Chains A and B, each alone.
Chain A
Amino acid sequence: MNLIILLAIAFGGALITYFLGKISQKIRDIFAVFISLALAVIAACFYNVSSREIYYTGFLDFPFVLRVNTFSWFFAVTIAVIGLFSIIFSLNYIRKRGNTDFYYSMMLLVIASMIGIVLSGDLVSFYIFWEIMSWSTFLLISYNRGPAISAGMKYIIMSVTGSVVMLVGIVSLYLHYDTLVYTELSGLLNNASSGYILFIIILFFIAFGVKNAIWPLHVWLPPAHSEAPSPFSSVLSGILIKIGTYGIILLIFVIIQINVFLNLGEGILSVRYIISIIGVITILIPTFIALLQDDAKRLLAWSTIAQAGYIILGIAYGTSESVAGGMFHFFNHAIFKSLLFMVVGAVEYRTNGVRDLNSLGGLIKKMPVTFIGGLIGICGLIGVPLTNGFVSKWLIYKTLILNNSPFLAFAALLGTWGTILYSYKLIHNMFLGQLPEKYEKIKKAPFSMQLPIVILSLAIIFFGIIPGLPLHVINSIESGFGMEPLTINIWGIASDTGTINMLNIFTAVLVIGIMVWLIFKVSKKSTVIGQYDNYAAGTTVPKDKYNYSVNFYDPLCRMISPYLKDFIDDFYMSLARSIKNTGNGIRRIYTGDVGHYVIYIILFLALLIFIQINWELW
């Protein structure tokens, strides 16, 4: 089972679903789920197979290489699994909407191209799959019509700019070392001049930064995520953001080798430190902006940018624990962020399209399973000890503190607290509080939506209690990169400087929880009362006028909102406007009067001769 068959299945599947759709919806749905399932299974069974296949296609004598090792396996499995769940989730979500064949084929195409990126062994095939992913994402983002169109346009412009800059980087690499295959390329850059390495880093960093929504390049993400259809935005923010991470890891650890990267520049101005600072800014500012949001999906979009900041911080900091933390946080973030988007999608599906946090409320009574998924999701997002988010953040903080950079640690920890605030706001405004009149009769989410939610929540808890499994995989990746692996056991990290053992924490919580539950059960039985039998200073609870969770953190928002105007967005908008104005200005040249055109020709001729006579250039 070599890799080209996997890619063939993926891309072929995408095309076939489009035409199957013409025949019947049912077959197409089943086929789409079957294809994504097959992808997940095949990707999974490449576990510690590390093989390389080279195909000399006619593509301008660039070799087309596919390779798989634990590093690419780790990303491929996450992509395939999250893709599978989002397709299952979209079975119901998309049924009522327009041209569904287009949606399914594009979704499979995006997943296929992401797997292609992860399995590609050389930079050209990496670039080809990267571009296919960009334009298929563009088509999917603008699927929702209306405001989604401007969101899609903003996305495609930034990603085309990023990939064009990367193209320059790839070609200059090719011309310097006339090979683009990772294995050959990795050794060569060590003796290159640090100026050239910096040039390459900047180029690639812009491309991956756009995809990874790093702070100055994050502008496209909030509109794109909130306008894209929910199952796709769970793919978008779950894994597509991580392709940028994959690129950065590839750049730092495979192409430039970690030791070269570490001693680039010295002290404060070292590249490692600058990227960490960018990562920290990407954590802080979007977290505070997320606090101000009222639209659920836009809040999650800003939180995606913040969490991507953690991953960048973890990877760029360079020590083996921080890289492990970064990669583990990638894995966790893929799970709980796609879970949260599915929860919001389920709520949106049931209340047909309401995402505004101020008008939702009390849905726990109607959609309990979705609530439990959402609760576990935000616990993962925050990093409550028994969830997987905790372990990865703990790793990042530990290295930051012990390697004497407390200010980075401070900013990251403050980011966590911001996450607590906005994630609780998400759950509270959507599920808790009074149930408004108009949502009395909504049913619970259909089974095809609940299945991925339940499985992903179990995954969060499972990997939270047993972080050893993913950490073992990450260890083998790190040793592949030539860094000394962490000392881990199945239950957590046992290094000498600081240990966490999730088993003890789990048993402690379990035992104490049961004890408290027993005390609770032993005492008098409490009568269950509805939402209208409530303390209202002696009067009865007025229907529909008793929900105070409108703009939840109003005092804080009033304090911080003047400082958080998104000036980066205004900068990009003014740039676009100035290009349009120059365009209009230049259009004036073609005046429409043929006399002017003839004068232009003569002037051109005169200019040529004048230059030759005076300066003898030619």
Chain B
Amino acid sequence: MVMNTILEIIIIILLAAIIGLFFLGLSRKIMARIHWRYGPPIAQPVIDIIKLFNQTSMSHGKLFNFGIIFSLSGSVVVLLFLPLGEMCPLSSSGGLLVILYCMLIAPLGLALSGGEAANPITSIGISRKFLLAFGYELPLLLILLTVMTHFNTISIVDIVNMQLQTGWSFQHLPLLLSGIAYILILPAILDLRPFELIQAPQEISSGPMIEYGGKFLALATIQHAFNVFISLSLFTNLFLGGAENPGYFFLKMLIVFIILLFVNAVTPRFRIEQAIKFLWRWPALLAFAGLIIVSVTG
């Protein structure tokens, strides 16, 4: 039994890496196409990572190294809790709450190493990162609570199985509302344009990652790829009925991602106050309404 869980773990990690990097490459291609220009090859992120691994890099001390390692391993651990079709190695040892908490390790690791880089721009980047996280957590918590109280369970595998029987969770009104709210906050989670406050290259020259040289930047991009995969797979698991077969699962994720990219290509960047105000107004309202309906209809 242990063997096939290890096998499952390896498959999931590889799959996630490939899909994540494919999504990043695709996003740059789609952005280019929207800008009416040819755009880099799809495998550009892979090339970047290979180049970065060959570059020497400068580190600011042990915590600087530990931070990036901690954040990448945090993202990978979250990966193991998410069901991918019937493969879900660690679902027995932790439900949706554990996912919520493990998703917190990645930003904390990045913040710690950014802090160690002793650059004021990283401090601004980190404070923006946490403020934005605080911004989108409010609606995200409401959404997760609506889903959990609707299916009356806290393990994500049960949610996916229930969706398999009763069809996507979009049919029920409260879940529809919280689904829309989730789509509104996804750009904030994925650090896409309307909420791309953390790595705003023009303003704070890539925020916490300012001192990331060769291999640090490589690990950070891998972590970003995993983060994209995690957020999208969480969304599809909760709202789009999980994964009957992996191919169909990735297609659903891709569609959502493309919608977000269209928004990302055309919208300017929010200031941090405007971002928090927006996140605490519309998505929070929708999710709150969803929660009230769920807790009332019981």
Whether A and B touch (Cβ < 8 Å) is answered with yes
Binding site for B on A (CB under 8 A): 362, 364-365, 371, 375, 379, 382-385, 390, 394, 397-398, 401-402, 404, 406-407, 409-410, 413-414, 417-418, 420-421, 424, 427-428, 431-435, 492, 497-505, 508-509, 512-513, 515-517, 519-520, 523-529, 531, 533-535, 546-549, 552-556, 558-559
Is B118 in contact with A424, judged by CB distance below 8 angstroms?
A: no
In the bound assembly, the distance between CA atoms of A161 and B74 in angstroms comes to 49
Q: What are the residues of chain B within 8 A of A517 when measuring CB–CB?
A: 69
Closest CB of chain A to B215's CB: distance in Å? Answer: 4
Given A420-B130, A504-B93, A524-B214, CB of A410 within 8 Å of CB of B123: no
- Chain B CB count within 10 A is highest, among A410, A421, A503, A552, for A410
Is A424 in contact with B141, judged by CB distance below 8 angstroms?
A: no
In the bound assembly, the distance between CA atoms of A402 and B153 in angstroms comes to 7
Given A375-B112, A414-B137, A516-B69, CB of A548 within 8 Å of CB of B93: no
Given A520-B65, A524-B55, A528-B61, CB of A553 within 8 Å of CB of B127: yes
In the bound assembly, the distance between CA atoms of A517 and B294 in angstroms comes to 45
Q: What are the residues of chain B within 8 A of A502 when measuring CB–CB?
A: 93
Can you list 25 A-B contacts with CB-CB less than 8 angstroms, sorted by A residue number? A382-B104, A390-B101, A398-B154, A404-B152, A404-B295, A432-B63, A432-B123, A500-B94, A500-B98, A501-B94, A504-B90, A520-B215, A523-B218, A524-B53, A524-B214, A526-B215, A527-B56, A529-B58, A534-B117, A534-B211, A535-B210, A546-B119, A549-B120, A554-B127, A555-B272
| Chain-A contact segment, one of B24-32, B142-150, B186-194, B244-252 | B142-150
Q: Is B185 an interface residue (CB 8 A)?
A: no
Is B54 in contact with A413, judged by CB distance below 8 angstroms?
A: no
Q: Is B267 an interface residue (CB 8 A)?
A: no
Is B93 in contact with A499, judged by CB distance below 8 angstroms?
A: yes
Is A535 in contact with B119, judged by CB distance below 8 angstroms?
A: yes
Is A434 in contact with B118, judged by CB distance below 8 angstroms?
A: yes
Q: What are the residues of chain A within 8 A of B56 when measuring CB–CB?
A: 524-527
In the bound assembly, the distance between CA atoms of A390 and B102 in angstroms comes to 10
Mask, B87-125, CB within 8 Å of A = 1, is 000101111011011101100100110011111110110
Q: A508-B90, A526-B213, A531-B60 are in contact. List 15 more A-B contacts (CB 8 A).
A: A398-B154, A401-B145, A420-B130, A424-B130, A492-B93, A501-B92, A501-B94, A526-B56, A526-B65, A526-B214, A527-B56, A535-B211, A553-B131, A556-B131, A556-B276
In the bound assembly, the distance between CA atoms of A382 and B112 in angstroms comes to 15
Interface of A is mostly: helix
Given A404-B149, A527-B58, A555-B131, CB of A424 within 8 Å of CB of B108: yes
Is A519 in contact with B115, judged by CB distance below 8 angstroms?
A: no
A492's closest neighbor in chain B, by CB?
Answer: B93
Is A523 in contact with B53, judged by CB distance below 8 angstroms?
A: yes
Is B90 in contact with A548, judged by CB distance below 8 angstroms?
A: no
Closest CB of chain B to A256's CB: distance in Å? Answer: 29
Q: Is B177 an interface residue (CB 8 A)?
A: no
Residues of B233-250 whose CB lies within 8 A of A = none
Q: What are the residues of chain B within 8 A of A515 when measuring CB–CB?
A: 73
Q: Is B19 an interface residue (CB 8 A)?
A: no
A509's closest neighbor in chain B, by CB?
Answer: B77
Q: What are the residues of chain B within 8 A of A413 when measuring CB–CB?
A: 100, 137, 141, 145
Is A546 in contact with B120, judged by CB distance below 8 angstroms?
A: yes
Q: Is B76 an interface residue (CB 8 A)?
A: yes
Q: What are the residues of chain B within 8 A of A529 when measuring CB–CB?
A: 58-60
A429's closest neighbor in chain B, by CB?
Answer: B123
* Contact among B97, B141, B218, B295 with A398 in the assembled complex (CB-CB below 8 Å): B97
In the bound assembly, the distance between CA atoms of A558 and B97 in angstroms comes to 31
Is B134 in contact with A556, judged by CB distance below 8 angstroms?
A: yes
A-B pairs, top 8 by smallest CB distance, nearest first, are: A432-B115, A548-B120, A501-B93, A504-B93, A531-B118, A526-B57, A526-B59, A513-B73
Q: Is B291 an interface residue (CB 8 A)?
A: yes
In the bound assembly, the distance between CA atoms of A341 and B92 in angstroms comes to 37
Is A535 in contact with B205, judged by CB distance below 8 angstroms?
A: yes
In the bound assembly, the distance between CA atoms of A535 and B211 in angstroms comes to 7
Closest CB of chain A to B219's CB: distance in Å? Answer: 7
Is A505 in contact with B93, judged by CB distance below 8 angstroms?
A: yes
* Contact among B68, B69, B97, B118 with A394 in the assembled complex (CB-CB below 8 Å): B97
In the bound assembly, the distance between CA atoms of A17 and B168 in angstroms comes to 70
* Contact among B60, B73, B127, B273 with A509 in the assembled complex (CB-CB below 8 Å): B73
* Contact among B102, B120, B149 with A433 in the assembled complex (CB-CB below 8 Å): B120
Closest CB of chain A to B271's CB: distance in Å? Answer: 8
Is A418 in contact with B134, judged by CB distance below 8 angstroms?
A: yes
In the bound assembly, the distance between CA atoms of A549 and B119 in angstroms comes to 10
Is A414 in contact with B141, judged by CB distance below 8 angstroms?
A: yes
In the bound assembly, the distance between CA atoms of A416 and B100 in angstroms comes to 11
In the bound assembly, the distance between CA atoms of A398 and B97 in angstroms comes to 8
- Chain A CB count within 10 A is highest, among B80, B138, B145, for B145
Is A499 in contact with B137, judged by CB distance below 8 angstroms?
A: no
